[in-house]
Chain A
Amino acid sequence: DQQVKQNSPSLSVQEGRISILNCDYTNSMFDYFLWYKKYPAEGPTFLISISSIKDKNEDGRFTVFLNKSAKHLSLHIVPSQPGDSAVYFCAAHARLEYGNKLVFGAGTILRVKS
């Protein structure tokens, strides 16, 4: 049962243009949504997050949009830079009786071409 889905395995964007990474979820109990960036053979690093009570959060070139009615969020990177090339994981945070949990999507490989 995939609660967090990233349907695009990869995305290729020209340097300077906008990158849009999408994520869908099924559980309406998630209270935070996060984006992590991962390079090969390294652990993920936190990028940006959004509370479920908000619809937008911006941090420099990165903006996350949340559409609760559609259970959809997206990460916008503008302008895209070659150094942004990495795997991006969408994650959702749930507070459960036995402990809090972070559920990850399958990831989207972003390639920014110079």
Chain B
Amino acid sequence: GAVVSQHPSWVICKSGTSVKIECRSLDFQATTMFWYRQFPKQSLMLMATSNEGSKATYEQGVEKDKFLINHASLTLSTLTVTSAHPEDSSFYICSARIQGRVDTGELFFGEGSRLTVL
């Protein structure tokens, strides 16, 4: 149980286009999902907290108009990178916490999505 799936795993796009990444909790409900970004040889940086039915909470320094997050249901959150540029190229990973459990920090991560902007 507790599987989180991301799609697509790899995406290559041209500069200026928008890319949508989906994150689904397959066998549990998640009122809260988290979007992370990882640069090569660096840590996972929390970008935003996605809340079902309400606006996402963005971390300091993350442009909310650049990285649009929508959490329309208890099992789906989407991250849209708008007007992508080469510096947006990165590994994006989503995670979720099982609803109803005491929060001890245990998150279930998706497989990640490698974005390359040409």
Contacts and interface: CB of A to CB of B under 8 A. Distances in A.
Given A99-B57, A106-B43, A43 B105 contact: no
B46 A44 contact: no
- With a 10 A CB-CB cut-off, give which of B43, B49, B105, B114 has the most chain A CB atoms: B105
Contact of A44 (B49, B104, B109): B109
B72 interface: no
Given A43-B4, A99-B49, A104 B44 contact: yes
- Does more than half of chain B's interface fall in helix, strand or loop, or is it mixed? strand
Contacts of B44: 44, 89, 104
B11 to A, nearest CB: 13
B43 A43 contact: no
Contacts of A43: 4, 6, 93, 95, 109-112
Q: Which label, helix, strand, loop or mixed, suits the secondary structure of the A interface?
A: strand
A105 B42 CA distance: 9
B103 interface: yes
A111 B16 CA distance: 40
Interface string A88-114: 010111010011111111110000000
Contacts of B108: 46
Contacts of B95: 43
Nearest to B59: A101
Interface string A30-47: 001110100001111110
Nearest to A107: B43
Interface of A: 4, 9, 32-34, 36, 41-46, 49, 51, 89, 91-93, 95, 98-107
Closest 7 CB pairs of A and B: A93-B105, A43-B109, A106-B43, A32-B105, A104-B44, A104-B43, A32-B104
